Amino acid sequence: MRKGIVVLILCIFSVYVFGQRTITGNTGTLDINKIYLCEVVHEYRGIHQVIDSAEVKNGQFTFVVKDARPELYFIGDTPWHGGYFFLDGNKIKLKPESISEEQIDWSVEGSPLDKKYREFKKRMYAETFGAIKDSLNALFYKAREAGNREEMKRIKEESEPYYDEGSERERELVKEYVQKNMENPFGMYLYYYNVFQRKDFPTLESIVSEKAYIDSFGKDAKNTSYLPKMGQKLDLYENCAIGHEAPEIVGLDTLGNPVKLSDFRGNYVLVDFWNSYCHWCREETPALLKALKQFKGKNFKILGVSSDRYKDKWIEAIHEDGSYWEHLMLEKGDDVMERYCIKGIPHIILVSPDGKILAKELRGEELVRVPEELMRF
């Protein structure tokens, strides 16, 4: 199995062809001296990394981008105020179509895949109730500013069906466009941002299946940075998959003593990733207490792993909740969340006495039922 995975990785990540592209444009009514070209780190969260900047002279600017992959970029008067465009083609022309406090909508010439990108965005907005949701959001913010909680509640309830149905329509539309664009970088972009980043891969089998699917994209589609990013992420998932040895976790307990996950070898351990200001994390405390009582006197432990930054708040929460089991607080900058591929907390896993991951994403009654099914005393 391992040999097969290695061969598959080599097949997937061997395609790279880069080129030089020229981007020219004008800034319209923007009164600026410099403009920034950014790599898109996370489109949904609006996270961008500056890769170049250009002087604006008489409202005109030029970028010459070497080794540019055909993918989504962001350009703006700051790294966070601007708009997206698909960099495809050797000569791209940009001009502002509209400018607001939130964003700049660029008109793009010379990029065939940008046309696909804008067609997709237009359909997405229309078919997922974009105008209705915008209107309801505006009403909600107005009610919030007025402190009208009843109106906020009413608008939220009215909005829910549009968001629920909109999410389902979004999934179907993304699926349609990915299937139509498996051979080009736009299809790989869509899959990476709208599917891959939202998925979890708890088992080695799911990881192998995902790598095989990614390999089914065409050669041009693989000519993007999305490919190695997915490969790196899948490698991380492999290191924390069910059946794999749990990555080490190190921190300090409430008395300031060093604690490691490996200290608990010989015990089944529910590892609870949480923090004091996470409401849903603390909602799991009764179920964790039930598990502690259920398996009392057996080789069973709970280890709370906190990402809190303030020790007093952390300890206060432990006392408030009565969560009297083993706890550690991570040091600032610890990448344990990344090593465990955790997208959100609470995140609770079960680790075997020999340090292997037995189950992931446990919640509520599963915190008793799953250990009962898997533990052998």
**pLDDT band at 18, cuts 50/70/90?**
low
54 is in which domain, residue-wise?
A: 16-110
Cis peptide before 346 (omega within 30 of 0): yes
Query: Based on the domain organization, do 27 and 97 belong to the same domain?
Result: yes
Query: Based on the domain organization, do 203 and 228 belong to the same domain?
Result: yes
Average pLDDT over residues 67-82: 93
Average pLDDT over residues 248-256: 96
Among the residue ranges 17-31, 94-108, 347-361, the one predicted with the least confidence is 17-31
* 332 within 8 A of 245, measured Cβ to Cβ: no
Confidence (pLDDT) at 376: 80
**pLDDT band at 43, cuts 50/70/90?**
confident
The verdict on residue 326 lying in a domain is yes
Query: Based on the domain organization, do 159 and 138 belong to the same domain?
Result: yes
- Output helix, strand, coil percentages for the chain, rounded to the nearest 5: 40, 25, 35
Counting other chains too, the contacts that 12-19 makes at CB distance below 8 Å and 24 or more residues apart are: 12/211, 12/214, 12/215, 12/222, 12/227, 12/231, 13/227, 13/228, 13/231, 15/219, 15/222, 15/223, 15/227, 16/223, 17/223, 18/66, 18/67, 18/68, 18/69, 18/223, 19/67, 19/68, 19/90
The verdict on residue 9 lying in a domain is no
pLDDT digits (tens, 9 = 90+) for 108-119: 999 999 999 999
CA–CA separation, 352 and 125 (whole Å): 47
Average pLDDT over residues 222-245: 94
CB atoms within 10 A of CB 182: 14
Average pLDDT over residues 199-205: 93
Is residue 245 classed exposed, middle or buried when 0-12, 13-18 and 19+ CB atoms within 10 A define those classes?
Answer: middle
Query: Based on the domain organization, do 316 and 370 belong to the same domain?
Result: yes
Confidence (pLDDT) at 66: 87
Question: 3-state SS of 282-307?
Answer: HHCHHHHHHHHHHCCCCCEEEEEEEC
The verdict on residue 1 lying in a domain is no
The verdict on residue 125 lying in a domain is no
Query: Based on the domain organization, do 104 and 179 belong to the same domain?
Result: no
Confidence (pLDDT) at 285: 97
The verdict on residue 127 lying in a domain is no
Q: Helix, strand or coil for residue 209? A: helix
Q: Helix, strand or coil for residue 49? A: strand
Query: Based on the domain organization, do 190 and 219 belong to the same domain?
Result: yes
pLDDT digits (tens, 9 = 90+) for 220-229: 999 899 999 9
**pLDDT band at 69, cuts 50/70/90?**
confident
Average pLDDT over residues 140-147: 95
**pLDDT band at 1, cuts 50/70/90?**
very low
Query: Based on the domain organization, do 84 and 136 belong to the same domain?
Result: no
Query: Based on the domain organization, do 227 and 341 belong to the same domain?
Result: no
Alpha helices in 14-74 (DSSP H): none
Mean pLDDT of the chain: 92
The verdict on residue 26 lying in a domain is yes
Query: Based on the domain organization, do 196 and 156 belong to the same domain?
Result: yes
**pLDDT band at 19, cuts 50/70/90?**
low
Give the number of domains in the chain: 3
Q: Tokens 């794999």, residue?
A: 244
Q: Which of 239, 272, 294 is the last residue of a domain?
A: 239
CB atoms within 10 A of CB 296: 8
pLDDT at 181 over 80: yes
In the chain, % of residues over pLDDT 70: 95
Query: Based on the domain organization, do 263 and 189 belong to the same domain?
Result: no
Q: Which of 219, 239, 259 is the last residue of a domain?
A: 239
* 304 within 8 A of 323, measured Cβ to Cβ: yes
pTM above 0.85, yes or no: no
In the chain, % of residues over pLDDT 90: 88
For the beta sheet containing 91-99, the strands, ordered from the edge strand earlier in sequence to the opposite edge, are 60-68, 19-26, 91-99, 104-109
CA–CA separation, 224 and 72 (whole Å): 10
The verdict on residue 11 lying in a domain is no
| CATH number reported for the structural domain that contains residue 29 in this entry | 2.60.40
Q: Which of 239, 266, 297 is the last residue of a domain?
A: 239
Query: Based on the domain organization, do 314 and 353 belong to the same domain?
Result: yes
pLDDT at 3 over 60: no
Confidence (pLDDT) at 270: 98
Query: Based on the domain organization, do 89 and 137 belong to the same domain?
Result: no
The verdict on residue 2 lying in a domain is no
